[in-house]
Amino acid sequence: MAKLFLFSPKLQPLLSLFFLIFIPSNVSSQSIETERTILLKLKQQLGNPLAIQSWNASSSPCSWTGINCTQGSVTAISLRNMDIRVKIPPTICDLKSLNVLDLAYNYIPGEFPKLLYNCSKLQYLDLSMNYFVDPIPDDIERLSTLLYLDVSANNFSGDIPPSVGRLPELRELHLDGNEFHNATYT
């Protein structure tokens, strides 16, 4: 009858060390691969802006223009003043660790991008100086992790929804330069 030996007691500490060292790096590189794919798709959906032409399949997204990473995951995208002229694609929220999104000083059209409700860790959102129109949605409190929101200098109109006041973490809000009813700024 054959005996089954999984590992000798002397090898178990070495195997534990192996798993601690090598498994996280494999997981991390898979994450970077996935995020690179998402960002390259995003680049295409944004119309391949000239300022991010350096984004490519052979380099780490953590070294790309406008991208910041923390512990190997994309946590911030700053595409400020990049001549973006299309709506924000839903692909952006496929970046699961994204907590900063700065798309200020572009030409982004359309209504407030509700698709950002799917960015579950978003804390900083700057959509200022674009071409957003219509009211800010009544359910904006779904961006419940926001600390900072800047939608100034767009063409938002209507009333400022009470739901803005229900953003539980919000510390800074910029609404000026829009066409809100009965709004006064000090």
pLDDT in tens, 121-159: 999 999 999 999 999 999 999 999 999 999 999 999 999
Q: What is the pLDDT of residue 128?
A: 98
Query: Is residue 120's pLDDT more than 60?
Result: yes
Each as own residue / partner, the long-range contacts of residues 44-47 (CB below 8 Å, 24 or more positions apart, any chain) are 45/86, 45/89, 45/91, 46/79, 46/84, 46/86, 46/89, 47/84, 47/85, 47/86
Q: How confident is the model at residue 19 (pLDDT cuts 50, 70, 90)?
A: very low
DSSP classification of residue 86? S
Query: Is residue 105's pLDDT more than 70?
Result: yes
Q: Which domains does the chain have, with CATH numbers?
A: 24-180 (3.80.10.10)
Q: What is the pLDDT of residue 50?
A: 92
Q: What is the pLDDT of residue 182?
A: 66
Q: How confident is the model at residue 31 (pLDDT cuts 50, 70, 90)?
A: confident
Structure tokens that stand for 53 in this block:
């032409």
End-to-end CA distance of the chain: 86
Q: How confident is the model at residue 13 (pLDDT cuts 50, 70, 90)?
A: very low
Query: Is residue 8's pLDDT more than 50?
Result: no
Question: Helix, strand or coil for residue 135?
Answer: coil
Encode pLDDT of 43-102 as tens digits. 999 999 999 999 999 999 999 999 999 999 999 999 999 999 999 999 999 999 999 999
Residues 14, 17, 36, 59, Cα dihedral to 10°: -80
Q: How far apart are CA 116 and CA 167, in angstroms?
A: 14
Beta pairing partners, 73: 70
Find the mean pLDDT for residues 30-51: 93
Q: How does 92-120 read in b/e, with b if 16+ C-beta sit within 10 Å?
A: bbbbebbbbbbbbbbebeeebbeebbebe
Residue located via tokens 């694609």: 89
Q: What is the pLDDT of residue 16?
A: 38
Beta pairing partners, 36: none
Find the mean pLDDT for residues 154-183: 94
C-beta atoms surrounding 40 within 10 Å: 16
